Amino acid sequence: MKYTLFDKVWNDHVVTQQNDGSSLLHIDRIFLHERTGSAALASLEASGRKIKNPLHVFCTMDHIVDTFPGRTDQTTMPGGTEFIKVTRDLSLKENITLFDLGDVRQGISHVVSTEQGIALPGCTMICPDSHTCTLGGIGALATGVGSSECEHALVTETLKFTKPKQMRVIFTGEKQSSVTAKDMILHLIALHSAAGGSGYAVEFAGPMVESLDVEARLTLCNMAVEFSAFTGIIAPDTKVFEYLKGRPYAPVDELWEQAMEYWSTLATDQGAHFDREIIIDCADIAPTVTWGTSPQHAISIDGQVPALISGDSDSRRSMEQALNYMGLESGQSIEGLPIQAAFIGSCTNSRLSDLRIAADILKGRKVSANVRAICVPGSTQVKLAAEKEGLDRIFLDAGFEWRESGCSMCFYAGGEGFLSGERVITSTNRNFEGRQGPKCRSHLASPATVAASALNGTITDVRKLEHST
Amino acid sequence: MKKFNTHLGIAAPLLKINIDTDAIMPSREMKTVSKMGLGKSLFANWRFLDRGTDKEKLNPEFILNQEEYLSATVLLAGRNMGCGSSREFAVWALVDYGIRAIIAPSFGAIFFTNCIRNGLLPIVLDEKTITVLADQVASNPQGSPLNIDLEGCHVTGPDGGIYPFELPAGDRVMLLEGLDAIDVTMKLNDAINAFKTTDHSKRPWAYLR
């Protein structure tokens, strides 16, 4: 019998099979944050139940906390302080590990999970956050759940899932150096729609995936949920092992050797069955940016906003609404569109490698006077590492704000947001209506494209910027 | 959890694809940790004009604000309903508002499970059927309720047409009997502990001390 990577991890976690074809899976790690984890903890508290294994449960403050320097429990978001306090009190009471404000381990849950060695290859992990699929980048079987499911996992260390179908997306060909994992995943979603992965667990494979460094693999898997996949996963290799070795919660000594041995068996067997396979030639991918209000509304930087689908359909109506919301017309070029803000951050693109790429472009240059530019490192560790390299100076000298770590303006929660009608080029994952502020217009792109656009004050093809220097 | 057996209700067509949970429940509306009282924030960006300002008012264009749909308890939606953020607040808002069932060609996976956990029935029907139902409903919303039968797994349209649907058997039982998923799994505690013992010897590195 030939097995996929996903099969292998799945099979090793099946506690029982149920009559209806679903399986009860053991959950190895649970990560909470103050936005939805607080609801799970509060509900648990009200029920009088206990966490089955607090050693395997971690919590961070990322969604609600402000990212201004000198921040406290007070938030610009209305009611935010309650979420922070409930999370802190119940984390203490339940004896789980909390990366609180002021803790050097604090950061965005999906950044911290790998940084601390909490997420591991061949492990199952859940968080009440849809971007938990990020952790597939190191070979974990990780998926986002609601607060009720999270509570279930806290109490029982298990969750019931119906095994999804399996898809393999193979990235082949030669990739331009300016094309990043963000461009690759936006390209895939544009080709196969935001529902293209619905019902599937997606393995990303092929030479161009193998060539990505670990942080870029996390970016690729991060947006599996924007493809509506159950999760994304990539076979762990020596790059992953080197990345994890010595991390605070990673196994050590003999256990590390045993883990490596196990992890080395996880790659998909030759000839294993996939229900669907998609091959993407990376030579076809240019720096990619979204024009609309779904991640599937993505085009090459040198492309035009597409024509409306003919006929009367849900898809056409959604396109019309998107064009109207974004203040754009079919046939219009995306390149050169004036922007008022630029944002680098989020669980998609806020790791050290992302900041290095952006800093490389910003070095010795100035952000356009018309643009408000903000950089929010994905974790306190990332921030400190960046500062050690002097990246903070490059961002600040260019005219970027340099923030404390958190989810920040990836979404608007009533506190900080971009303004009505403002066009924002952003390294985040969702361009939904109002996502970054009421009536704000978000264009998703890679950190490189965000940095280049911030300089010009217009959506910019980073390849042309490189030529101009 | 509230049981679901049969439901007769007014349906509101909201035939847009990729309706995300940010649209169903904007983040800025989530002001307390509580699950209660969220119905007033449902679809806030679409339901209200100038939300949160002193000019705030209902958006007369939005379907749930129209007289004949005020009592709607069923939503007809486009594919990939509930995609995006895992926030269960979206489902809590729908339930608190009074929505009992959502019919769509497909659902976001996390949203689907969140519905089941809160007694809200997600029904998958093909896009064509949903268009047919939407057209029938729109001609006379108040006089064209949909009849949903979870026991028999079918929807009866205003014209008497019967449209069968499928739901995973476990989910169906959870809704029919109003079961608590944690209670159900806790009965398997011995099996879970036995699994852990075996797994610990196979993957000792996965267990923190």
Q: Is residue B192 part of a domain?
A: no
Q: Is residue B133 part of a domain?
A: yes
pLDDT at A351 over 80: yes
Q: Quick one: A293 and A259 in the same domain?
A: no
pLDDT for position A469: 46
CATH number for position B35: 3.20.19.10
pLDDT for position A318: 87
pLDDT for position A467: 52
A438 with B45: Cβ contact below 8 A? yes
Q: Quick one: A181 and A324 in the same domain?
A: no
Q: Is residue A395 part of a domain?
A: yes
Q: Is residue A104 part of a domain?
A: yes
Q: Which tens digit of pLDDT belongs to each residue from A323-343?
A: 999 999 999 999 999 999 999
Nearest CA in chain B to A35: B33
Rounded to a whole number, what is the distance in Å from the CA of B39 to chain A's nearest CA?
17
A35 with B30: Cβ contact below 8 A? yes
A195 with B181: Cβ contact below 8 A? no
pLDDT for position A317: 86
Q: Is residue B208 part of a domain?
A: no
B185 with A258: Cβ contact below 8 A? no
A156 with B27: Cβ contact below 8 A? no
| Pairs across A and B, CB distance < 8 A | 198
Q: Range of B66's domain?
A: 6-179
Ramachandran assignment for A293, one of left (phi > 0), alpha (psi -120 to 50 degrees), beta (any other): alpha
- Which residue, among A11, A49, A125, A156, would best test binding to B if mutated, counting the most B CBs under 10 Å from its CB? A156
Q: Is residue A279 part of a domain?
A: no
Q: Is residue A302 part of a domain?
A: yes
Q: Range of A136's domain?
A: 5-263
B86 with A259: Cβ contact below 8 A? no
Q: Which of A225-229, A270-274, A307-311, B48-52 has the lowest mean pLDDT?
A: A307-311
Average of pLDDT values for A211-230? 98
Average pLDDT, chain A: 96
Q: Quick one: A189 and A244 in the same domain?
A: yes
Q: Is residue A361 part of a domain?
A: yes
Q: Is residue A200 part of a domain?
A: yes
DSSP letter assigned to residue A188: H
Q: Quick one: A368 and A447 in the same domain?
A: yes
- The answer to whether the beta carbons of residues A290 and A430 sit under 8 Å apart is no
pLDDT for position A466: 61
A26 with B199: Cβ contact below 8 A? yes
Q: What is the domain count for chain B?
A: 1
pLDDT for position A310: 84
Q: Is residue A272 part of a domain?
A: no
Q: Quick one: A240 and A354 in the same domain?
A: no
A15 with B23: Cβ contact below 8 A? no
Q: Is residue B201 part of a domain?
A: no
Give the B window 106-165 contacts with A, CB below 8 Å: 106, 108-110, 113-114, 117-118, 127
ipTM: 0.95
Rounded to a whole number, what is the distance in Å from the CA of B75 to chain A's nearest CA?
15
Three-state secondary structure along chain B? CCCCCEEEECEEEECCCCCEHHHHCCHHHCCCCCCCCCHHHCCHHHHEECCCCCCCEECCCCHHHCHHHCCCCEEEECCCECECCCCCHHHHHHHHHCCCEEEECCECHHHHHHHHHCCCEEEECCHHHHHHHHHHHHHCCCCCCEEEECCCCEEECCCCCEEECCCCHHHHHHHHHCCCHHHHHHCCHHHHHHHHHHHHHHCHHHCCC
Q: Is residue B204 part of a domain?
A: no
Percent of residues, chain A, with pLDDT higher than 70: 99
Q: What is the domain count for chain A?
A: 2
Q: Quick one: A70 and A26 in the same domain?
A: yes
Average of pLDDT values for A365-382? 98
A149 with B52: Cβ contact below 8 A? no
Q: Is residue B198 part of a domain?
A: no
CATH number for position A16: 3.30.499.10
- The answer to whether the beta carbons of residues A330 and A322 sit under 8 Å apart is no
Rounded to a whole number, what is the distance in Å from the CA of A445 to chain B's nearest CA?
18
For residue B32, which residues of chain A lie inside 8 Å, CB to CB?
79, 82
Q: Quick one: A256 and A319 in the same domain?
A: no
Q: Is residue B193 part of a domain?
A: no
Name the stretches of chain B with pLDDT < 50.
none
Q: Is residue A277 part of a domain?
A: no
Which of A263, A296, A327 delimits the end of a domain? Answer: A263
Q: Is residue B184 part of a domain?
A: no
